[in-house]
Amino acid sequence: MEDFYYGEGGLRCEDVALAEIAESVGTPTYIYSHAALERAYRELDEAFSGLDHMVCFAVKANSNLAVLRALASFGAGADIVSGGELYRAMKAGFDPKKVVFAGVGKTEDELVAGMGERILLFNVESASELEHLERCAARHGKTARVSLRVNPDVDPGTHAHISTGQGESKFGIPVDEALALAERVGEYRCVELIGVHQHIGSQITKLGPYAESVEKSAGLVEELKSRGLDIKYFNIGGGLGIRYRDEEAPTPKEFVDAVRPTLEAIGASGTKIICEMGRYIAGNAGALLTRVIYRKKSGAKSFLVADAGMNDLLRPSLYDAYHEVRSVNDGAGAALSDLVGPVCESGDYLARDRALPDAAEGDLLAVMSAGAYGFSMASNYNSRPRPAEVLVKGNRWSVVREREHLADLIKGEIVPAFL
Ligand code: LLP
């Protein structure tokens, strides 16, 4: 997280002191570094150099329009999983020819919207979806380009909630079924099968399973080609892990080099490689800025009660995820405590039983590595307005999403006349 460092005014993001942002925008607030987004994107892009490739950004990791606009401007494509993400991707200016659409439950409206934008590929996850897509396409006089999302049945060695490529997972199609489906695809008139897709999970820090799954799926690409199908795209998915604490995650170069011979062999016969990373690009590009409201002791336990909670950053509560907590003014020593939010659940914590900055009431803290699956998983639980988001670029910064107002909380709610 080199774009967040201590300097003049305490913890800074690029050339801006976080305290200055908190002063003006309040807390809790997500802060994103433009330089960090760009560096991570370029690192991935360069790792694939020599191969015909496209790096997509998984919009679910961070769907803020300004973040998406920045990524589109670097040349990234977009990996989307809903009509809502398609809407955002189009508003942000992604080229539809760089948009791939995954997800096990795409509805007719979503399929039609994707075809309407002429996106590059639908990553189809079942025989039923393929049939549905064919019917929708025929009904609306459209055509669709398709990748089959294969389930390579490999354990990615990550948290169970974010493993997607094992046998019992709801995601993807087993390899043998994919072959059978590909045999039948010639019967369809409006869908064209031109790709193979896989995604085995997220926050993967071991090369072994990743490489194994790429090899397996590459085998399917070769098999389909040998059966005369023109497989123009091989999407190896996302999932590259980042360092939250002390994880030894492979670099993009190490990751690509581990499968380079396979990708080169496939590329030599004209297949383009796609990857769709979310966390690697945005995770360490963001922090959540929060203020300590109270200090509290309960028996032997010490608590820092902050103004950000599980509704703002769900990862610690949901996955017991570790996020480093830094003091913004850099003065505080460390003390064993929990950093908790104001939400009425015992599971509402940002850090537990940790040596945390010994912050005073009113002090600012930064919860690091919160650029991916932070705001995008935030909710209004406990009727808490969602935080503001700020993008920093050099010495400039801008609010890129206003803090929600109380009126936003009841937007769309109706008290019927019979009450
Ligand atoms: N492609 C597909 C089909 C996916 O399902 C995902 C993530 C990605 C790409 C991007 O994966 P990434 O590169 O970001 O690891 N909320 C969880 C992560 C859920 C990931 C879901 N799918 C978390 O906070 O850890």
Summarize pLDDT for 345-401 with one digit per residue, the tens: 999 999 999 999 999 999 999 999 999 999 999 999 999 999 999 999 999 999 999
Rounded CA Rg of the chain? 23
Long-range contacts of 87-96 (CB under 8 A, 24+ apart): 87/113, 88/59, 88/63, 89/59, 90/117, 91/65, 92/65, 92/68, 93/68, 93/69, 94/68, 96/120
Instruction: Looking at the CA of residue 197, tell me the nearest atom of ligand 1.
Output: 3
Give the right CATH number for 95-277 from 3.40.50.1820, 1.20.1260.10, 3.40.50.300, 3.20.20.10.
Answer: 3.20.20.10
The rounded distance, in Å, linking the Cα atoms of 302 and 157 is 34
Return residue ranges of the chain for CATH 3.20.20.10.
95-277
**Cα 279 to ligand 1 centre (Å):** 7
Instruction: Report the nearest-CA residue for atom 16 of ligand 1.
Output: 373
Take residue 81 and report the two structure tokens written for it.
């999983």
Mean per-residue pLDDT for 334-351? Answer: 97
CB of 149 within 6 A of ligand 1: the answer is no
Q: Are 257 and 268 in contact (CB under 8 A)?
A: no
Look up residue 385 and give its two tokens. 């307005």
**CATH tag, 4-32+283-409:** 2.40.37.10
Quote the CA–CA distance of 192 and 148 in Å, as a whole number: 11
Task: Report whether pLDDT(165) > 70.
Answer: no
- Residue 279 Cβ inside 6 Å of ligand 1? The answer reads yes
From 99, 202, 204, 312, the mutation candidate for ligand 1 (largest count of ligand atoms within 8 A of CB) is 202
Q: Where does the chain hold its CATH 2.40.37.10 domain(s)?
A: 4-32+283-409
Mode of pairing for the β-strands spanning 396-401 and 10-13: unpaired
The β-bridge partners of 123 are 147
What distance in angstroms lies between residue 104's CA and the mean position of ligand 1's atoms? 14
Predicted confidence (pLDDT) at residue 184 exceeds the cutoff of 90? no
Asked if pLDDT for residue 48 goes beyond 70, the answer is yes
Give the position, in ligand 1's atom list, of the atom nearest the Cα of 203.
15
pLDDT tens digits, 4-33 = 999 999 999 999 999 999 999 999 999 999
pTM value? 0.97
In short, whether 237's Cβ falls inside 6 Å of ligand 1 is yes
What mean pLDDT comes out for the span 169-198?
91
- Looking up tokens 């203020």 gives 291
> Is 344 known to be catalytic?
yes
Question: For ligand 1, is residue 59 a contact (CB within 6 Å)?
Answer: no
162 CB less than 6 Å from ligand 1? yes
Task: Please report the sign of the dihedral spanned by the C-alpha atoms of residue 112, residue 56, residue 94, residue 283.
Answer: positive
